[in-house]
């Protein structure tokens, strides 16, 4: 698996039932397909899917397009249910998958 430069902002701990905010920014050009006279042709290469699982269950999924800015920023919320791993997964055109993990301790 390839690596991705990403910044994930979320609390380390939360009370059970608390709604926590998660902000994620990944470094990526989100290149649009360029096919115009006088310009070098470039295929589309974007992160097309972003999904988040929490203790094994999917809690957030986003389908991205070329209408999302470079270095995609995504903010969302989730309810703290149990102590567990968050897995953040980006899927790129061409089949590359990037993953990052974070742990939330629920008290």
Partner 1 sequence: MKGWSRRAVMALPIAAIPGLAKAEEESFEAAERAILAGRTPIASGIVIDMPLLSENGNSVEFALSVASPMTAEDHITTIHILAEKNPQARIARFNISQRAGRAEIATRIRASTTQTILVLAETSRGQVHRAGQEVIVILGACVDGG
Residues that bind partner 1 (CB under 8 A): 19, 23, 32, 34, 36-39, 46, 48-49, 54, 56-70, 72-79, 81, 91, 93
- Cα–Cα distance between 74 and 37 in angstroms, integer? 34
87-20-102 Cα angle (round to 5): 25
Nearest distance, CB of residue 91 and partner 1, angstroms: 8
What is the closest distance, in whole angstroms, from the C-beta atom of residue 12 to partner 1 in the complex? 18
Tell me whether residue 32 or residue 100 sits nearer to partner 1 (CB atom): 32
Q: Which is nearer to partner 1, 53 or 100 (CB)?
A: 53
Minimum gap (Å) between residue 50 Cβ and partner 1 = 9
C-beta of 77 vs 99, nearer to partner 1: 77
Distance CA 3, CA 26 (A): 11
Q: Is 5 helix (H, G, I), strand (E, B) or coil?
A: coil
What's the rounded Cα separation, in Å, for the pair 42 and 82? 45
């Amino acid at each position: 698996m390839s690596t991705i430069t990403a910044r994930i902002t979320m609390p380390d701990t939360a009370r059970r039932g608390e709604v926590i905010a998660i902000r994620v920014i990944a470094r990526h050009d989100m290149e649009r397909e360029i096919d115009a006279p006088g310009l070098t042709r470039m295929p589309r290469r974007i992160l097309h899917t972003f999904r988040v699982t929490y203790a094994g269950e999917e809690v957030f999924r986003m389908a991205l397009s070329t209408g999302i800015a470079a270095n995609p920023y995504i903010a969302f919320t989730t309810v703290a249910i149990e102590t567990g791993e968050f897995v953040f997964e980006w899927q790129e055109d061409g089949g590359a998958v990037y993953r990052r993990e974070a742990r939330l301790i629920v008290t």
